[in-house]
Chains A and B, each alone.
Chain A
Amino acid sequence: MLRLLPGLATRLLQGLIVVFTAATLAFICLELAPGDQATALGEQVPLAVRERVRALRGLNDPLPVQYLRWMRDIVRGDFGWSVSQQRPALPVLLEASTNSLMLVAPAFVLSLGLGMLLGAWQAVHAGTWRDRWSGRLTLAVYSVPEFWLAFLLILFGHGQLGLPATGMVNDMHAYYGLLDRLQDRLAHLVLPVITVTLVGIGIFSRYQRSSLQDVLQQPFVRTALAGGLATPRVRWLAWRAALLPVLTVAGLVLPAFVAGVVVIEQVFLWPGLGHTMLMAIAARDADVVTGCVIIGSSITVLGALLTDMLRVLVDPRLATGVSRIEPTER
Chain B
Amino acid sequence: MTPRALLSRASAALLSALALACAAPSDEAGNSTTGGTLVVVAPAEPRSLLPAIGEASQAAPILASLYERLADIGPTLETAGDAGFTPRLATRWQWSSDSLSLAFTLDSTARWHDGHRVSAHDVRFTFRVYTSDSVATDQGSLVSNIDSVAVVDSSTAVFWFKRRSPQQFYDATYHMYIMPAHRLDSIPLGRLAESPLARDPVGTGRFRFARWDAQQRIEIVADTTHPKGRPYLDRVIFSIAPDFGAATIKLFAGEADLLENIKPENLAQVARTPTLRVVDNPAMQYRFLGFNLRDPRNPTQPHPLFGDVRVRRALSMAVDRERVVRNAYDSLGLVALAPAPRALIPDTTAFTGLPFDLARARALLDSAGWTDSDNDGVRDRNGVKLAFDILAPNSSPAAQRLTVLLQAQFKAVGANATPQLLEINSLSERVDERRFDTYTGGWLSSPGLVGMRQTWTSTGDGNAVRYRNPVFDAAVDSALTTFDRAASRRHWAQAFQQILDDAPAIWLAEPRVFMALHRRFIVPPTRPDGWYTNLAEWRVDPAQRIDRDRIGLGGAAR
Considering only CB atoms, which chain A residue lies closest to B199 in the complex? A87
Chain B residue at minimum C-beta to C-beta distance from A268: B246
Q: Which residues of A contact B470 (CB under 8 A)?
A: none
Docked-complex contact B239 and A171, CB < 8 angstroms: yes
A45 interface hit (Cβ, 8 Å)? yes
Q: Are A86 and B138 in contact (CB under 8 A)?
A: no
Residues of chain B within 8 A (CB-CB) of A24 are: none
B239 near A34 with CB under 8 A, answer no
Return 26 A-B CB contacts under 8 Å, by A number: A34-B422, A34-B430, A35-B426, A42-B428, A44-B56, A44-B57, A45-B56, A46-B138, A48-B141, A49-B136, A49-B138, A49-B141, A56-B136, A56-B190, A84-B45, A86-B48, A165-B249, A166-B253, A167-B250, A167-B255, A174-B557, A175-B556, A269-B246, A271-B215, A282-B425, A284-B425
Chain A's closest residue to B454 (CB) is A46
Q: Which of A49, A164, A276 contacts B137 (CB 8 A)?
A: A49
Residues B214 and A85 in contact, CB atoms below 8 Å apart: yes
Which residues 2-49 of A sit at the B interface, judged by CB distance below 8 A? 33-35, 39-49
Whole-angstrom distance between the alpha carbons of A50 and B551 in the complex?
Answer: 43
Decide yes or no whether B414 CB sits under 8 A from chain A: no
In the complex formed, the residue of B with least CB distance to A37 is B425
Assembly CA distance A174 to B235 (angstroms): 13
**Residues of A bordering B, CB below 8 Å:** 33-35, 39-50, 52-53, 56, 81, 83-87, 91-92, 95-96, 147, 154, 158, 164-172, 174-175, 181, 266-269, 271, 275-276, 279, 282, 284
Partner pick for A269 among B48, B134, B241, CB 8 A cutoff: B241
Q: Is residue B432 within 8 Å, beta carbon to beta carbon, of the partner chain?
A: yes
A56 to B39, CA, bound (A): 36
Name the B residues within 8 Å of A47 (CB-CB). 432, 461-462
B242 within 8 A of A: yes
Contact indicator A172/B551 (Cβ below 8 Å): yes
B412 interfacial by beta-carbon distance below 8 Å: no
Cβ B133 vs Cβ A168 within 8 A: no
Quick check: is B374 within 8 A (CB to CB) of the other chain? Answer: no
The tally of CB-CB contacts under 8 A between chains A and B is 148
Q: Are B246 and A34 in contact (CB under 8 A)?
A: no
- Tell whether, in the assembled complex, residue B425 and residue A33 are in contact, meaning their CB atoms are under 8 Å apart: yes
| Structural contact, A45 and B241, CB atoms closer than 8 A | no
Beta-carbon contacts of B425-460 to A below 8 Å, as 1s and 0s? 110111110000000010110000000001000000
Q: Do B45 and A85 touch across chains, with their CB atoms under 8 A apart? A: yes
Note all chain A residues with C-beta closer than 8 A to B423: 34
Chain A hits for B246, CB < 8 A: 166, 266-269
Is the interface on chain B under 10, 10 to 19, 20 to 34, or 35 or more residues?
35 or more
Residue interface bits B387-431, CB-to-A below 8 A is 1, else 0? 000000000000000000000000000000000001111101111
Q: Could you say which residues of chain B place their CB within 8 Å of the CB of A168?
A: 216
Please determine whether B253 and A85 come into contact, CB atoms closer than 8 angstroms.
no
B30 at the interface (CB under 8 A from A): no
- State whether A42 touches B56 (Cβ < 8 A): yes
B274 located at the interface, meaning its Cβ lies under 8 Å from any Cβ of chain A in the complex? no
Question: What are the interface flags for B182-199 relative to A under an 8 Å C-beta threshold, 1 for contact and 0 otherwise?
Answer: 000000001001100011
Contacts of B323 in A (CB 8 A): none
- The answer, yes or no, to whether B27 is at the interface (CB within 8 Å) is no
Q: Is the pair B425, A49 in contact by a Cβ cutoff of 8 Å?
A: no
Contact A86 B425 (CB under 8 A): no
Say whether B461 contacts A86, CB under 8 Å: no
What's the Cα separation between A83 and B53 when bound, in Å?
11
Contact of B255 among A40, A44, A166, A284 (CB under 8 A): A166
Task: List chain A residues, Cβ under 8 A from B39.
Answer: 171
Answer whether A95 and B214 are a contact pair too, CB < 8 Å, given A34-B426, A269-B250.
yes
User: Which residues of chain A come closer than 8 Å to B441, judged between CB atoms?
Assistant: 43
A35 touches B134 (CB 8 A): no
Residues of A within 8 A of B250 (CB): 165-167, 269
On whether the beta carbons of B47 and A171 are closer than 8 Å, the reply is no
0/1 string, B215-258, CB within 8 A of A gives 1 = 11101000000000000000001011111011001100101100
Q: Is the CB of B557 within 8 A of A43?
A: no
Count chain A CB atoms within 10 A of each CB in B141, B428, B551, B554 and give the residue with the most.
Answer: B428
Asked whether any CB of chain A lies closer than 8 Å to the CB of B105, the reply is: no
Given A33-B425, A34-B426, A47-B461: 19 more A-B contacts, CB < 8 Å: A35-B428, A39-B425, A43-B431, A44-B56, A46-B141, A56-B136, A81-B194, A91-B214, A164-B255, A170-B255, A171-B239, A171-B255, A171-B256, A172-B548, A174-B557, A269-B243, A269-B246, A276-B215, A282-B425
